[in-house]
Amino acid sequence: MMLYMHAFSFELISLAAGVALLLYARKQLKIKNFWPSFAAWVIIILSSLAIICAGFHSVRLWSKGYSHMQKMTMEKDLMMK
For 39-54, the pLDDT digits (tens) are 999 999 999 999 999 8
C-alpha distances in Å from residue 4, one per residue of 20, 26, 31, 46, 74: 24, 33, 36, 17, 18
Q: Which residue has the higher pLDDT, 5 or 81?
A: 5
Distance of CA 8 to the CA centre of its chain: 4
pLDDT on residue 41: 93
pLDDT on residue 30: 67
pLDDT on residue 17: 94
Any idea where the domains of the chain sit in the sequence? Answer: 2-80
pTM (2 d.p.): 0.70
